[in-house]
Amino acid sequence: MHKPVLLKEVIFYLDPKPNENFVDATFGLGGHSFEILKYILPDGKILALEWDPYLVEIYKKSYMKHKNIILKNENFKNIKKVVREEKFTNIKGVIFDLGISMWHYKNSKRGFSFNENSFLDMRINPFDVKITAFEVVNYFSKEKLENILKTYGEEKYASKIAEEIVKRRKIKKIETAKELSELIVRVVPRRKKIHPATKTFMALRSYINNELENLEIGLEDAYEILKKGGRIVVITFQGLEDKVVKKVFKKLKSKGAKILTKKVVRPSESEKLENPSARSAKLRAILKNEQE
């Protein structure tokens, strides 16, 4: 069973009540939405956005017949457009649970996981995103590869990895996630529990799917669609996402918003033990001031 991260904390900061409306900007496997639903019945509604069309199909076919959830195959950068099209109003809160779901790592066969022998794709929506990780890895210049790894992954071994990729692809194209991660393991020293390929995979995924740029647009627009007294809760899993959230929240604060999390909220030790994927999670929340 999928375990949503920081669930109690999300409910605390969103503060859902009967008959209120919410937007789940990153539906994924639905964990946060189904929990929020318990608090907003009978007439509250959730507008859920999920960018991966395959995930949307899976949910529409299974248990997504719930009248209180409207599921749309959209990226959160289009949150304003979807809200307008659905005539979805009186929005009390928006939740962003960033990154990709466990389904992507375990079932999508798109090369998100280091140990997979699947093709280096890494597109969250293969219909919207035209470039694959295979193309980036095999055809971008050493300089461009190095820049992507530094900018989107903060990888200090970027130069070494880019050099090794260029050397290897001359002999044979790097086709699978496993081939790429094995190459990185040979040039990056292993530290603690973090796999040496973590930052490279994150950088490629983030670059290909325009994740950081989309997040900035999505957060600012989410604030616009909120009613006064509404809240945004964001869960990040890596430093660059968190930097974007802090930057946008700072801008919104200057417009009168109130930051609800003076310090970043992290999972408890017991949650980290129970759900290791929660380890790097950070939660921040903001309130749209009643006076605005």
**Residue 169 belongs to a domain with what CATH number?**
1.10.150.170
| Residues 171, 57: Cα–Cα separation, whole Å | 40
Quote the pLDDT of residue 1.
47
In the chain, how many domains are there?
2
Tell me the pLDDT tens digit for each residue of 115-169: 889 999 999 999 999 999 999 999 999 999 999 999 999 999 999 999 999 999 9
- Choose between 286 and 289: higher pLDDT: 286
Q: pLDDT confidence of 192, banded at 50, 70, 90?
A: confident
In a domain, 283, yes or no: yes
One domain, residues 174 and 229: no
One domain, residues 47 and 175: no
Last residue of a domain, one of 208, 237, 254: 208
Quote the pLDDT of residue 277.
84
Give me the phi and psi of 237, to 5 degrees please. Answer: -125, 0
Q: What is the CA radius of gyration of the chain?
A: 20
Average pLDDT score over residue span 259-264 = 96
Question: Which segment of 5-14, 61-70, 84-93 scores lowest on mean pLDDT?
Answer: 61-70
In a domain, 110, yes or no: no
In a domain, 181, yes or no: yes
DSSP 33-45: HHHHHHHHTTT--
Mean pLDDT of the chain: 94
One domain, residues 31 and 77: yes
One domain, residues 198 and 67: no
Quote the pLDDT of residue 65.
65
One domain, residues 140 and 274: no
Q: Give me the helix-helix angle, 142-153 and 198-208, nearest 10°.
A: 100
